[in-house]
Amino acid sequence: MGMIRSTIIAASFALGASAASATTVTLQQQSASDVFAGGGAANVRVQLDSTTYNANAGGFRVTDGTNDFIAWCLDLVNNLSLPSVYSVTSTPFSNTTGTFSASVQHNLQRLFNTSYRDLDLDDNVQSAGFQLALWEIVYEGDPNLTLNSGDLRWVGGNSDARTAANTFLNNLDGPETEEWVLTFFESGKDKYGNQISQNLVKVAPIPLPAAVWMLGGGIVLMGAVARRRRKAESA
């Protein structure tokens, strides 16, 4: 079953990425006054090389006009500007901040698969900590992923968020609790070639295919028939 599920997941992801590569969407805030819409966020200061960034970190509550969802920033060096037109891409982010390496994409996937299911998105520390962990994966050149040192490091703000981020990063090699499909949103550029907004990512749980549910239903039905047969034989 595991091999069949993995094959289906890989095929679905490949087809989805291919179809989505030419798609554009306009993203905007769910709440005009608060991009977090009252959800979890905390102030943090991080240093990337010699530049310090002061950020309110957490999951953005955005909408594409049809669906509301949580989007996460994968782009520390640009400002968020919504509403904005984005391209849905399977090669993040080759036209703006630079293509992610295979190890970065692998670690991003692992972060969601190991920690996202149980993440409390309304908790300031957990939401900010998860955002910090995402930035660490994207920007850290050292394979030892920690907010305590390296190319990207925490230098101020909510220290509990740093602790949470390090916990998420330490769990990257742990057991996966759920599998997720990652959708990457790449910002457009203005007429001068400047990036308009931050690059983002959202996720959705991978649903079991209908065939698996049908198989499960068939097994249950077979069990019920077998029980009735045993009762009839013992009567």
Secondary structure (H, E, C), 3-18 = HHHHHHHHHHHHHHHH
pLDDT at residue 146 greater than cutoff 50: yes
Overall number of domains in the chain: 1
pLDDT at residue 19 greater than cutoff 50: no
pLDDT at residue 21 greater than cutoff 90: no
Domain span at residue 60 reads 20-207
pLDDT in tens, 173-228: 999 999 999 999 999 999 999 999 999 999 999 986 654 445 555 555 555 555 66
Task: Decide if 229 is inside a domain.
Answer: no
Lowest mean pLDDT among 54-58, 154-158, 195-199, 228-232: 228-232
pLDDT in tens, 89-140: 999 999 999 999 999 999 999 999 999 999 999 999 999 999 999 999 999 9
- Sequence-ordered list of residues with C-beta below 8 angstroms from that of 167, at least 6 positions apart, any chain: 129
Residue 107 one-letter amino acid: N
Q: Tokens representing 159? A: 């220290």
Task: Decide if 197 is inside a domain.
Answer: yes
* pLDDT at position 137: 98
pTM reported for the whole predicted model: 0.81
Query: Which has the higher per-residue pLDDT, 55 or 2?
Result: 55
Residue linked to tokens 């990512």: 201
Closest CA to 70 of 230, 200, 217: 200
CB 59 within 8 A of CB 134: no
Task: Decide if 40 is inside a domain.
Answer: yes
Task: Decide if 201 is inside a domain.
Answer: yes
Residue linked to tokens 């749980």: 205
Task: Decide if 97 is inside a domain.
Answer: yes
pLDDT level of residue 58 (50, 70, 90 thresholds): very high
Task: Decide if 49 is inside a domain.
Answer: yes
Lowest mean pLDDT among 21-35, 56-70, 159-173, 208-222: 208-222
Task: Decide if 227 is inside a domain.
Answer: no
Task: Decide if 230 is inside a domain.
Answer: no
